[in-house]
Amino acid sequence: MKGVSILGATGSIGRSALAVLDQHPDRFRAVALTAGTRGEALGRLAERYGPALAVVAEGPVPAGACGGTEWRTGREALLAAATHPDADVVLNALVGAAGLEPTLAALRAGKRVALANKESLVCAGPLVMEAAREGGGELVPVDSEHSAILQCLAGTSADAVRRLVLTASGGPFREWTAAMLATATPADALRHPTWDMGSKVTIDSATLANKALEVIEAHFLFGIPYERIEAVVHPQSIIHSMVEMVDGSVLAQMGFPTMELPVLYALSYPERLPYECRRFDPVAAGALTFEPVDGERFPAFGLGVAAGREGGTAPAVFNAANEVAVAHFLGGALGFPGIAEAVGDTLGQWRGGAADSLAAVLEADAWARRTTETFVRNYLPCC
Ligand code: NDP
Ligand code: MG
């Protein structure tokens, strides 16, 4: 029986994780569950799963919370959930840079971190990998592309890999012209064709910033240089990613899109457990097609990959600027093309720096947020 701490239990990945626990009550039990602000929703989950600890990181404890669960609030409490003594696995399903410190704390405490929060690795890849080495913790990806790559690698060394090919659905605007993109609303962008996800990652999928975040995530997770990581649009989201070996063989991992399987694999890895879900049917899946990423219509992709290649704190700046710009797009202050414009403007002003301490990363993150806020305040759409 493994104890699982679920950071972000009330979110989309959190729901997938609890569905996995439902199918394996004899293998996994929830020891800590956390929410950001939605204490009432967490209260219902606590009643059902009976964790030892429930944390509302940014809001009050819901009225009537009782039972055998200890209730806490605040950032320190979130770190307590990330390092809970009964947790063997910490599923980090927080959204944004807020996930970084819990990832570091869990790895330093020697936990397995099932990582959905890709932003942790993007903001501070070297620090995260160092925390895992020093604390004896282990990082297992939940992101479907990285779970696919892990499964394709199956223990193969990095020397045997020629290339990683990350697939991207292309998002809801895959076929939109630049002129149409200028009129895209949050409602349009939130209508994802193949995945049902939280709002931030859904907008990142629409801009393709998500794929850039994933290229950076793959670079750190698998130790593969950027020039050997590519992205390709695959609208059906059946092939979750591919690995080309040095001999030319290409391995792909496939299935109908669901996040429950990558979560299950991150919890059970390297073991495989039986699971009830929609069985794959190649005939029903139909034709599988591929297209190049269009960097002109989706400039956030190129900006993110360039920030990854630059290294140091540039990826943290990319991430923070993107978080602020996405929030303003959702709030109506920025048009869709304004997201990439804001991110590009902020990156253009960044003078660089090493990501050699948490303080340096947090400073770059805070600078990027201020700079992007200023851009948004002065924003006039160019067309
Ligand atoms: P959601 O927005 O659905 O859920 C986020 C969770 O984190 C919620 O429980 C939320 O609490 C909590 N939370 C949000 N902000 C904070 C904060 N500042 N401090 C503490 N808790 C917070 O996101 P997703 O589940 O979609 O995504 C989670 C992560 O997984 C992201 O990094 C995303 O990129 C990644 N991912 C998601 C996929 C998906 O299919 N959804 C696929 C692959 C990766 P509350 O409910 O109270 O707001
Ligand atoms: Mg993904």
Asked, for residue 306, whether it belongs to a domain, the answer is yes
- Our separate counts of H helices and E strands in the chain read 16, 11
213 and 133 in one domain?
A: no
Asked, for residue 276, whether it belongs to a domain, the answer is no
205 and 126 in one domain?
A: no
211 and 354 in one domain?
A: yes
Asked, for residue 348, whether it belongs to a domain, the answer is yes
290 and 167 in one domain?
A: yes
pLDDT of 192 reads 85
φ/ψ (deg, to 5) at 72: -140, 165
Q: Quick check: pTM over 0.95?
A: yes
* Tens digit of each residue's pLDDT, the chain (383 residues): 999 999 999 999 999 999 999 999 999 999 999 999 999 999 999 999 999 999 999 999 998 777 799 999 999 999 999 999 999 999 999 999 999 999 999 999 999 999 999 999 999 999 999 999 999 999 999 999 999 999 999 988 889 999 999 999 999 999 999 999 999 999 999 998 888 899 999 999 999 999 999 999 999 999 999 999 999 999 999 999 999 999 999 999 999 999 999 999 999 999 999 999 999 999 999 999 999 999 999 999 999 999 999 999 999 999 999 999 999 999 999 999 999 999 999 999 999 999 999 999 999 999 999 999 999 999 876 55
Q: How far is the CA of 201 from the centre of ligand 1 (A)?
A: 8
Q: Which of 115, 142, 169 is the last residue of a domain?
A: 142
CATH number of the domain enclosing 25: 3.40.50.720
Q: How far is the CA of 24 from the centre of ligand 1 (A)?
A: 23
250 and 170 in one domain?
A: yes
Q: Is 118 annotated as a binding residue?
A: yes
235 and 92 in one domain?
A: no
Describe the crossing of helices 358-377 and 118-135 by its angle, rounded to 10 degrees: 170
CA distance 382 to 344: 14
- The bridge status of strand 28-35 relative to strand 53-56 is parallel
Q: Is the C-beta atom of 101 inside 6 A of ligand 1? A: no
Give the helix ranges, DSSP H, for 94-208: 100-108, 118-135, 144-153, 178-181, 186-189, 199-207
207 and 167 in one domain?
A: yes
CATH number of the domain enclosing 243: 1.10.1740.10
Asked, for residue 49, whether it belongs to a domain, the answer is yes
Extended strands (E) in 142-249: 161-168, 229-233, 239-245
Asked, for residue 150, whether it belongs to a domain, the answer is no
**Domain membership of residue 209 as a residue range:** 156-256+282-377
Asked, for residue 74, whether it belongs to a domain, the answer is yes
Asked, for residue 268, whether it belongs to a domain, the answer is no
pLDDT of 215 reads 99
Among protein residues, the one with the nearest Cα to ligand 1's atom 2 is 198
Strand partners, 245: 161
Q: Is 322 annotated as a binding residue?
A: no
Evaluated on CA atoms 103, 109, 110, 111, the torsion sign reads negative
Among protein residues, the one with the nearest Cα to ligand 1's atom 18 is 98
137 and 193 in one domain?
A: no
162 and 138 in one domain?
A: no
Q: How far is the CA of 380 from the centre of ligand 2 (A)?
A: 32
Tokens of 383: 């067309």
φ/ψ (deg, to 5) at 251: -105, 140
Q: Is 200 annotated as a binding residue?
A: no
Tokens of 344: 């590009």
Strand partners, 230: 165
Q: Which of 142, 167, 190 is the last residue of a domain?
A: 142
What is the three-class DSSP state of 174? coil
Number of domains forming the structure of the chain: 2
Q: Counting atoms of ligand 1 from 1, which one is nearest the CA of 117?
A: 32
Q: Is 211 annotated as a binding residue?
A: yes
Tokens of 157: 């060394």
Closest listed residue to residue 209, CA positions, set 308, 302, 336, 90? 302
Q: Which of 87, 113, 142 is the last residue of a domain?
A: 142
Supply the DSSP string of 294-329, one letter for each residue.
-TTT-HHHHHHHHHHHH-TTHHHHHHHHHHHHHHHH
H/E element holding 251? strand 250-254
pLDDT of 292 reads 98
Nearby residues of 22 by Cβ (< 8 Å), 6 or more positions away: none
Q: Is the C-beta atom of 345 inside 6 A of ligand 1? A: no
122 and 44 in one domain?
A: yes
CA distance 202 to 205: 5
Q: How far is the CA of 163 from the centre of ligand 1 (A)?
A: 30
291 and 222 in one domain?
A: yes
182 and 301 in one domain?
A: yes
Asked, for residue 97, whether it belongs to a domain, the answer is yes
